[in-house]
Amino acid sequence: MRGRVLIIRSQPGAAESERRVRDIDLTPLCEPIFSLEPMPADLPAFDALAFTSLNGVRMFSALCPIRDKPAFCVGRRTADEARAMGFLNVVSADGEAGALFNRIQADLPNGYSVLHAGNEESRGDLCGRLNDAGRTCFFRALYRAAPLSRPGPILERHLTGSDPVDAVLIHSPRAAAILAGFLSLRSTASPLRIAAISPAAAAPLKNYATETAIASSPDETSLLMALKALLGRSAQSS
């Protein structure tokens, strides 16, 4: 099976996805449709950290030198990034936000406050649940996703049908919403096959995607498995 796969997530994650797509014998095309911009933030005092993304770890690390507080991470790759940034006490929930909430509740002593450092689009569900459970949790947006004003050349050629790709990887609801915005301005476009990391990431494209595969769990390994299944179905039907 071979296929051309468009990666639209921001750097530096896009480069890692590009490598992993190539490792499964597909052809990656990397063209982020947004960039990450740091935001000023006044950090409160805290006893532990919660990270729901690699970029949250990176942005916090650039802003604050503290590394000795417990760092609770949503998954293994986020935890690996925290260790690489010098955090001394890192815990991985190996799952999603619900698993992270459970891990904090189980491992963090009562009375400890938590700082969730994330992006502007984060909805605060984790902090809301922790506060409802009697903890003190603060959310701070450390960065925002700034969309491009128009599609880049690879995406533009796909949309016009002059050089279509076989699938687009969708890593976040934000990326999906930006892509949906581009599509909404067109009366026609080439068929869009997407592999999405979660149902929430697929949702903004429900009216535009002709074929959709959703990862069984919100991690890139599962996303790439969904991508392979999507391209396998397309090959059988062609």
Q: Where are the domains of the chain?
A: 4-35+147-237, 45-144
Cβ of 34: how many Cβ atoms within 10 Å? Answer: 19
Domain spanning 4-35+147-237 has what CATH number? 3.40.50.10090
If you count them, how many residues does the chain have? Answer: 238
Q: Tell me 149's DSSP state.
A: S
Pick the CATH number of 45-144 from 3.40.980.10, 3.40.640.10, 3.10.20.30, 3.40.50.10090: 3.40.50.10090
pLDDT of residue 1: 47
Burial per residue of 197-207, b for 16 or more beta-carbon CB atoms within 10 angstroms, e otherwise: bbeebbebbee
pLDDT of residue 182: 94
Cα(78)–Cα(91) distance, integer angstroms? 10
pTM of the predicted model as reported, rounded to 2 decimal places: 0.79
**pLDDT tens track, the chain, 238 positions:** 469 999 999 888 899 899 999 999 999 999 999 988 999 999 999 999 999 988 999 999 999 999 999 999 998 889 999 999 999 999 999 877 788 999 999 999 999 999 999 988 776 688 999 999 999 999 999 998 889 999 999 999 999 999 999 999 999 888 999 999 999 988 787 889 999 999 999 999 999 999 999 999 888 899 999 999 999 986 666 5
Domains 4-35+147-237 and 45-144 share a fold: yes
19 contacts 182 by C-beta, under 8 angstroms: no
134 contacts 127 by C-beta, under 8 angstroms: no
User: In this structure, is the dihedral angle defined by the CA atoms of residues 11, 17, 23 and 26, taken in order, positive or negative?
Assistant: negative
- Helix locations, the chain, DSSP H: 13-23, 54-63, 76-84, 97-107, 125-132, 153-160, 173-184, 199-202, 220-237
